[in-house]
Structure 1
Amino acid sequence: MLSNDKQNDTTLPLAGCRVIERSRTVAAAYAGRLLAAMGAQVVMLEPATGSPLRRAAPVLEDTNESALFAYLAAGKHSLICDLSNAAGRELMARELANADILLDDTPLRERGAQGLAPEDTAARYPKLVHVSVLPYGATGPKAHWDAEEVNLVHAGGEGFLLPNGLSCEQFPDRPPLKVYGNFASYQGGCAAAWCALSAWWAVPTTGGQYVDVSVQDANLAVGAFALQRLGDGSLEHRTTRSFRYGGVFEAKDGYVEVLTLEDRQWQALVQLLGEPAWALDEALQDPLERSRRGAELNTHIRTWMREHAVEDIVSRAQALGVPAAKYRTPEEVLTGEQETARSLFAKTTLKSGRRVDLLTAPFQFRCSPLPGGGRVPALGELSEEVLQ
């Protein structure tokens, strides 16, 4: 049906899985992106004007293409399908008849008229996994609400907790806005992808399912550790939420993050620091005492960090067994030794023909490495005739 080498590669984990994606949000589009990365054939049903994500920031200055859309759409296909008319709905019906999974973030108020009500899809396509991806889910008092990324970050609790640590200390007057980019939506997309696969694998025994994914719920799950603190009466806040010692430190020429969660890591950190007298205090052998004196410890550690270069700190720390890493620029990430060894990035062709490096997936498979790469589809690249 489609001449795409990646989709014809039967060694990929999701080879043979066909996904129809109706997305206007990052969460649903990212779910499709993850499935496409694993070898599923993902077809985006777009309106004649194209997905709004095609115009989403940030935009590449030289080609005026959305960098966000390029990442979310790589490896997919595009088919124009206007569900406001009968012809479009019939086209979608033919596509769903041959699909395994439907990713759908259509607002509830529009689903009935567009033929996407879950009871209708269940009746017409008994083996289809229909995954609803909405900000607050498809049930409950907020099911009809829309939400931007900033709303979802705060609804999931992270907005109350960030920025914390060094960022909060350096800029205490800054309001808690949101994590850069689409953190909340990516969490929702991950949940939607895994739920879709769980339901799909169960089709031989249970048939198709309707899966209701809430982006807010997915983000609450990420912050479960902060929520469980409510059980002991404590309340996390961005000014107090941090590791008692460790965290982000400013070095001579950049920033380093150090976390010592185990006794052996603390002992290694003491070695890294040159075994200063303050660190050899017998009382600091007790992890609870170290936590109680976290602010004091960090004062000493910061003084030492400012006197040393990042690369020297990280290389010595890792040799000693201290969990430490450098905060790197995007260029450094692309050319990093770890990223290169794991083939995390691959060349992808944009609609303009420009070739760029894109993250293949936030994971890899040992027995069937993901090829990545491919291309970003032009709007409506697939005609109805080709699909037939």
Structure 2
Amino acid sequence: MQSKDDSPQADQPLAGCRVVERSRSVAAAYAGRLLAAMGAEVVMLEPAQGSPLRNAPPLLAGSGDSALFAYLSVGKRSLVCNPHTAAGQALLQRELAQADILIDDTPLEERSAVNLDPHAVAERHPQLVHVSVLPFGASGPKARWCAEEVNLLHAGGEGYLLPNGLSNELFPDRPPLKIYGHFAGYQGGSTAAMCALAAWWAVPLQGGQYVDVSVQDATLSVGAFALQRLGDGSLEHRTTRRFRYGGVFETLNGYLELLTLEDRQWSGLVELMGRPAWALDEALHDPLERSRRGDELNRHIREWMARHRVEDIVRRAQELGVPAAKYRTPAEVVGGEHEAARGLFGPATLEDGEEVDVLVAPFQFRCTPLQRGGAVPALGEMNEEAIEV
């Protein structure tokens, strides 16, 4: 086992932190991914057949490997461990004894059988931070419910608000949708990672803690503004939830999003459109009047947008201080000038040796650049090493 002192990530924010991850969900795996990105040593405990995420779509062309798993596992280690056997249980307890944080999405009904009940874990490892990541949390009437991404997205309220804005205008008969990918899973994973760090930093004063993370709650928190409006007596819905003016617009060669919340931004937008007569109406100096006439303004803006190229609009908008951004393809994002300047993507080595670019992390540290790159671990690649210890 490589010591903490000679780790290649010794200069990273979480150098010296050891994490054991037992995950089958995106939420738990993403929590481990974020900690690994900050330099923690993350050991995935996998069954003999591997994590179910190893077969999760989308699959990479050629190899057929899971692109999702590749992203979620970069920089981690893999240890095959069957805690239902005596040898596997001994291996599990040894790993937990060396760990600072356990990330665990084992269903409640299975935890006692593998000695991962929170009380049993706390008794054996009193300094360990045990983070439970379940669809509806580990307590309450839904604690034993299963859920997929679409269930969690709607249980968290976002499904009630989709599609909205331009999508709802163009396709008013469409049923509620889900956001592409794993929006709820990533929200749950982000919450779990932050909770894990908060509890870990408190260990010297508090000792180990058990943290109960609900993916539904994490997703619900994203809609804080909608909840605030609900408290004020206003129930938002996908047919009414939109900016009074602005939002998504179709241009001559693509889509962009425009957001003008401040007077100076409205003035910049008027300048961007060449000071048309309709926009010079004195009444529109009042932001409340602009809100009241939002549909009228958007009709004018939409007509103007449709005659111009998205790149020209965004470039000029940035010069004038108008918040506007192009909707870009994944290839445009990975190859973007801004992303390259900030070093957002780094090379990841797949199991077959191929290199692909993946997002390093959704954050950066000013004084400590995160380590770029890493490898996708082969199933059980550290088992021989673990046996020798």
TM-score (norm 1): 0.98
8 A Cα contact 1:255 1:327, kept in partner:
yes
1:372, distance to aligned residue in structure 2 (A): 2.4
- Aligned-partner residue type, residue 168 of structure 2: C
Q: Which residue of 1 aligns with 2:201?
A: 201
Q: Which residue of 2 aligns with 1:53?
A: 53
SS at 2:114 equivalent: coil
1:380 aligns with 2:380: yes
Q: Which residue of 2 aligns with 1:228?
A: 228
- Aligned-partner residue type, residue 79 of structure 1: L
Evaluate the alpha carbon distance shift between residue 70 and residue 6 of structure 1 in structure 2; reply closer, same or farther with a 3 A threshold. Answer: farther
Q: Distance in 2 between matches of 1:79 and 1:15?
A: 20
Gaps of 5+ in 2: none
Q: Which residue of 2 aligns with 1:180?
A: 180
SS at 2:13 equivalent: coil
Summarize deviations over 1:287-326 as a string: whole Å, max 9, x none: 1111111110000000000110011000000000000111
Q: Distance in 2 between matches of 1:21 and 1:7?
A: 19
SS at 1:130 equivalent: strand
Q: Which residue of 1 aligns with 2:63?
A: 63
SS at 1:249 equivalent: strand
1:385, distance to aligned residue in structure 2 (A): 3.9
Q: Distance in 2 between matches of 1:4 and 1:273?
A: 58
1:339 aligns with 2:339: yes
Evaluate the alpha carbon distance shift between residue 107 and residue 6 of structure 1 in structure 2; reply closer, same or farther with a 3 A threshold. Answer: farther
- Aligned-partner residue type, residue 81 of structure 1: C
Q: Distance in 2 between matches of 1:21 and 1:360?
A: 19
Count of residue pairs the alignment pairs up: 388
Q: Distance in 2 between matches of 1:203 and 1:88?
A: 28
8 A Cα contact 1:252 1:310, kept in partner:
yes
Q: Which residue of 1 aligns with 2:212?
A: 212
Q: Which residue of 2 aligns with 1:359?
A: 359
Q: Distance in 2 between matches of 1:4 and 1:74?
A: 19
1:88, distance to aligned residue in structure 2 (A): 0.7
- Aligned-partner residue type, residue 320 of structure 1: L
1:11, distance to aligned residue in structure 2 (A): 1.5
Q: Which residue of 1 aligns with 2:41?
A: 41
Q: Distance in 2 between matches of 1:221 and 1:81?
A: 35
Q: Which residue of 2 aligns with 1:106?
A: 106
Q: Which residue of 2 aligns with 1:9?
A: 9
Summarize deviations over 1:160-179 as a string: whole Å, max 9, x none: 00111111111111111210
Q: Distance in 2 between matches of 1:140 and 1:336?
A: 45
8 A Cα contact 1:8 1:15, kept in partner:
no
SS at 2:92 equivalent: helix
8 A Cα contact 2:265 2:321, kept in partner:
yes
- Aligned-partner residue type, residue 268 of structure 1: G
Q: Which residue of 1 aligns with 2:264?
A: 264
Identity level (%): 72
1:309 aligns with 2:299: no
Evaluate the alpha carbon distance shift between residue 167 and residue 236 of structure 1 in structure 2; reply closer, same or farther with a 3 A threshold. Answer: same
Q: Distance in 1 between matches of 2:343 and 2:262?
A: 31
- Aligned-partner residue type, residue 224 of structure 1: A
- Aligned-partner residue type, residue 141 of structure 2: P
Q: Distance in 2 between matches of 1:81 and 1:10?
A: 27
8 A Cα contact 2:4 2:16, kept in partner:
no
Summarize deviations over 1:84-131 as a string: whole Å, max 9, x none: 212111100000000000000000000001010000111110100000
Summarize deviations over 1:247-296 as a string: whole Å, max 9, x none: 11000011111100111101111110111111111111111111111110
1:348 aligns with 2:342: no
1:2, distance to aligned residue in structure 2 (A): 3.0
Superposition CA RMSD, Å: 1.3
1:29 aligns with 2:14: no
1:384, distance to aligned residue in structure 2 (A): 4.9
8 A Cα contact 2:4 2:15, kept in partner:
no
1:144 aligns with 2:144: yes
Summarize deviations over 1:355-378 as a string: whole Å, max 9, x none: 100000001111111122110000
Evaluate the alpha carbon distance shift between residue 257 and residue 4 of structure 1 in structure 2; reply closer, same or farther with a 3 A threshold. Answer: farther
8 A Cα contact 1:24 1:53, kept in partner:
yes
Summarize deviations over 1:22-70 as a string: whole Å, max 9, x none: 0000000000000000000000000000000000000012101000000
8 A Cα contact 2:9 2:371, kept in partner:
no
8 A Cα contact 1:7 1:40, kept in partner:
no
- Aligned-partner residue type, residue 177 of structure 1: L
Q: Which residue of 2 aligns with 1:300?
A: 300
